[in-house]
Structure 1
Amino acid sequence: MDRREIAALLAYLGRLDPRTIRTDQGEARDQLAQWHELLGDVPMATAHGWDARAAARQHIRISPYQILPADIARPWESYRRERLGRHTDPTPSVDPDDQAAWTAELVGTRRAVGTGSAQPAQYRAITSGRRDPELEARLREDGSCIPPAVRTTLAPYRPARAAREAAVSQGQPDALGVRCEWCLAQAGEPCRRRRIGPDDGARGTAPRATPHPSRLDLAAARQAQQHALA
């Protein structure tokens, strides 16, 4: 606030609490200088919820003590912290190789949010709203959110899942749908093989591209039981 805004704020406070009024010209001048020194970086109001007059009115309404500059500065600092706490830095629009410009834009954005001249930038949350009809049709057509071409490209990098999907598509038992009694892999996880060191001690495990035979037998038995119940 500049000196004129401070003077307007003090006049407003005088109407709400006559104890803040200074009738002596020298005292009024000193009061104006003091408040300006302490609240010069606090805006009178912003477009996004801050109003120094509202903060002052709230203090006078609930506190029996005469208002001080700190009673406006404290709510302002809380307002700034709350906004910056909700802010996530958006990617600057400048060349990322220009470190000075990149940093300047980040700082400028944070300053605008902190001073109330811009709204905090937040990541969009995942909602539970209705999905796009085109996406629904695509999922019904492909059967998965991963297109077949992409699934084929990824197959060499996830052999266990690729083998599982191939077996299920051919009507074979889903071995990963049951727990492996041999390596104790849980349902949905690939079987693992032990790594043996020179001293014949186990040094760790590694995922197998194919499940253990006993797990296949257990999956086949469960599939047969389900078919019998159907």
Structure 2
Amino acid sequence: MDRREIAALLAYIGRLDTRTIRTDQGEARDQLAQWHELLGDVPMATPHGWDVRVAARQHIRTSPYPILPSDLARPWESYRRDRLARHSDPTPSVDPDDQAAWTAELLGARRAVASGTAQPAQARAITSGREGVSTRLKARLRESGSCIPPAVRAALAPYRPARAARESAVEQGLPDALSVRCEWCLAQPGEPCRRRRIALDGGARGTAPCATHPSRLDLAAALQAQHAEQTQPALA
């Protein structure tokens, strides 16, 4: 605030609390100089929620003590901290190799948010569900059947043989054992079967991956046959 805005603020406060009024010209000049020195970097109002008159009126309503410049500087600092805490630095639009321009744009955005001239940039949430999938992505998934292209899947096969064997079995029409819960080792869908390790005292010491249990294969085959029986009348 400049000196004229400080004078207008003091006149506004004087109408609400006469204890702040200075009738002597010298005292009024000193009061104006003091408030301008302490509140020169505090704006009168911002486009996004800050108004120093609201802070002054709130203090006069709730405190029995005469208002001081610190009673307006504290709400302003809280306002700045809250906005910066809710701000996520967006990626600058300049060349990232230009370090000076990159830093200048980041600092400029932060100053604008802290001063109340710009809204905090919120971090974009990860969308979920069908609403968050674009039309192009849906078409690509229908075409390839997976978000991993076939060439990439083939290149990764030597590094994940269990997954490659599972995908090959599904392509051949065989039941997917990992699609159901194993009733023997209680492995959840998508997890491999595990072998329990028993300590000398008879308690379980740990588990280790093992081959798929036959009961799990039988359950997956039964569910696949049941699903086929349910779909055949619908197709007919």
Band the TM-score falls in, shorter-chain normalisation: 0.7 to 0.9
- Residue 170 of structure 1 corresponds to 172
Are positions 1:72 and 2:69 aligned together? no
- In 2, distance between residues paired with 1:139 and 1:83? 41
- In 1, distance between residues paired with 2:53 and 2:37? 18
Residues 47 and 117 in structure 2, CA contact (< 8 A), matched pair in contact too: yes
Residues 88 and 121 in structure 1, CA contact (< 8 A), matched pair in contact too: yes
Residues 183 and 216 in structure 2, CA contact (< 8 A), matched pair in contact too: no
CA change 1:64–1:168 in 2 (3 A) is same
- In 1, distance between residues paired with 2:92 and 2:168? 45
CA change 1:47–1:181 in 2 (3 A) is same
Deviation at 1:104, TM superposition (A): 2.0
CA change 1:50–1:218 in 2 (3 A) is same
- In 2, distance between residues paired with 1:156 and 1:83? 51
Following superposition of structure 1 onto structure 2, how do residues 107-118 of structure 1 map, counting pairs within 5 Å? 107-118=107-118
**Identical positions, percent:** 74
Kindly report the root-mean-square deviation, in angstroms, between the aligned alpha carbons of the 2 structures: 3.1
- Residue 214 of structure 2 corresponds to 217
Query: Could you list the runs of 5+ residues in structure 1 that have no partner in the other structure?
Result: 194-204
Residues 176 and 188 in structure 1, CA contact (< 8 A), matched pair in contact too: yes
SS in 1 for 2:33: helix
TM-score, with normalisation over the residues of structure 1? Answer: 0.76
**1:30 counterpart letter in structure 2:** D
Are positions 1:36 and 2:73 aligned together? no
CA change 1:188–1:228 in 2 (3 A) is closer
CA change 1:80–1:171 in 2 (3 A) is same
- Residue 12 of structure 2 corresponds to 12
- In 1, distance between residues paired with 2:49 and 2:22? 30
CA change 1:122–1:156 in 2 (3 A) is farther
Deviation at 1:102, TM superposition (A): 2.0
Deviation at 1:2, TM superposition (A): 1.2
Deviation at 1:42, TM superposition (A): 0.8
CA change 1:104–1:171 in 2 (3 A) is same
Deviation at 1:15, TM superposition (A): 1.3
**1:217 counterpart letter in structure 2:** P
- Residue 56 of structure 1 corresponds to 56
Deviation at 1:136, TM superposition (A): 5.0
CA offset digits 1:80-110 (Å, max 9, x no partner)? 1111011111122223223222222211211
Query: Could you list the runs of 5+ residues in structure 2 that have no partner in the other structure?
Result: 196-206, 230-236
- In 2, distance between residues paired with 1:169 and 1:156? 18
- Residue 83 of structure 1 corresponds to 83
- In 2, distance between residues paired with 1:81 and 1:145? 42
SS in 2 for 1:68: coil
CA change 1:156–1:53 in 2 (3 A) is farther
Residues 180 and 187 in structure 1, CA contact (< 8 A), matched pair in contact too: no
CA offset digits 1:32-79 (Å, max 9, x no partner)? 111111111111111111111111111112222211111111111111
- Residue 126 of structure 1 corresponds to 126
Deviation at 1:122, TM superposition (A): 1.3
Are positions 1:45 and 2:45 aligned together? yes
- Residue 200 of structure 2 corresponds to none
How many pairs were matched up?
A: 213
- Residue 98 of structure 1 corresponds to 98
Following superposition of structure 1 onto structure 2, how do residues 186-201 of structure 1 map, counting pairs within 5 Å? 187-190=189-192
**2:216 counterpart letter in structure 1:** A
